[in-house]
């Protein structure tokens, strides 16, 4: 395919996969249980944090978290006491354990009470969105914490593609017109977003000639972002649906 044909193909696939049916197979179904902005943010952030590995396992772990928070994630984060943490004893998803989770509760509470919430931190227009992820991590870990917990928040300035945070940002920023993403954060433009680069999107991007770098890291993300912005500079991350769908659902 030439570039025009490739763009038409990806536009078609993006439109095909960005539909309500997508939610049934994706971790985004967890925050879709809520309507209040802060509940959606907290549920989405925690779900995105553990969104690696088997999808069934991700959904099971994420739903367990929500249920243990009495289906009120924001209220739990802000008002929980030590006794409320008992249901999380022994929680583990891959390498994310109960100690990591308890710090995440503490850090989120600090962000809402001392930093005006998640959106405010990511809305500093002095920096690129990837630089803001680095800034977010600095704030997130400004309280006392175990060193091991830092690995659960990626940092583009240390070479990471930050797949899970970029996915969370896609959820928060992109329009809800198709009923999938939430479009809650109006202070950030979809044009600033970067694709959540994972095995599926990376492999399909390479097959289509959109990505040459073999590692799924920050440099690969920058290369893929640049190429996707040529197709749609206003909403380049819509192609996440196309690339992911082609890899995960159609085995392209």
Whether residue 125 is predicted with pLDDT greater than 80 in this model: the reply is no
Higher-confidence residue of 109 and 54: namely 109
Q: Look up residue 136 and give its two tokens.
A: 């977010």
Q: In whole angstroms, give the CA distance from residue 168 to residue 153.
A: 12
Higher-confidence residue of 125 and 16: namely 16
Count of CA atoms in the C-beta half-sphere (13 A) of 160: 18
Q: Residue 90: what pLDDT?
A: 94
Average pLDDT over residues 214-228: 97
Q: In whole angstroms, give the CA distance from residue 80 to residue 72.
A: 11
Q: In whole angstroms, give the CA distance from residue 33 to residue 36.
A: 10
Provide the mean pLDDT of the chain.
Answer: 96
* Contact yes or no for 42/66 (Cβ under 8 A): no
Confidence of residue 230 (pLDDT cuts 50, 70, 90): very high
Confidence of residue 8 (pLDDT cuts 50, 70, 90): very high
Confidence of residue 223 (pLDDT cuts 50, 70, 90): very high
Q: Residue 53: what pLDDT?
A: 85
Per residue in 100-112, pLDDT tens?
999 999 999 999 9
What CA–CA distances, in Å, run from 152 to 2, 18, 205? 39, 28, 26
User: Which residues have CB under 8 Å from 114's CB, separation 6+?
Assistant: none
Whether residue 14 is predicted with pLDDT greater than 90 in this model: the reply is yes
Q: Residue 221: what pLDDT?
A: 97
Query: Which region holds residue 213: left if phi is over 0, alpha if psi is between -120 and 50, else beta?
Result: beta
User: Which residues have CB under 8 Å from 88's CB, separation 6+?
Assistant: 65, 68, 98, 101, 102
């Amino acid at each position: 395919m030439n570039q025009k044909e490739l763009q038409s193909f990806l536009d078609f696939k993006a439109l095909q996969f960005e539909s309500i049916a997508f939610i049934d197979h994706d971790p985004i179904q967890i925050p879709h249980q809520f309507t209040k902005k802060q509940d959606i943010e907290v549920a989405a952030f925690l779900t995105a944090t553990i969104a690696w590995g088997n999808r069934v396992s991700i959904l099971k772990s994420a739903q367990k978290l929500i249920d243990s928070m009495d289906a009120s994630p924001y209220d739990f984060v802000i008002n929980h006491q030590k006794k409320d943490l008992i249901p999380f004893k022994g929680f583990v998803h891959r390498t994310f354990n109960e100690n990591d989770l308890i710090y995440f509760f503490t850090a989120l509470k600090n962000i809402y009470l001392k930093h005006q919430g998640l959106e405010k931190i990511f809305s500093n227009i002095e920096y690129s969105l990837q630089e803001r992820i680095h800034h977010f991590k600095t704030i997130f870990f400004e309280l006392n914490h175990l060193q091991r917990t830092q690995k659960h928040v990626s940092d583009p300035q240390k070479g990471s593609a930050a797949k899970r945070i970029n996915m969370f940002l896609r959820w928060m920023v992109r329009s809800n017109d198709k009923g999938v993403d939430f479009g809650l954060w109006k202070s950030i433009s979809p044009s600033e977003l970067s694709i959540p680069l994972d095995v599926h999107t990376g492999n399909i991007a390479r097959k289509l000639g959109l990505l040459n770098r073999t590692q799924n890291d920050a440099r690969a993300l920058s290369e893929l972002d640049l190429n996707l912005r040529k197709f749609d500079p206003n909403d380049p991350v819509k192609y996440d649906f196309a690339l992911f769908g082609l890899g995960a659902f159609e085995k392209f």
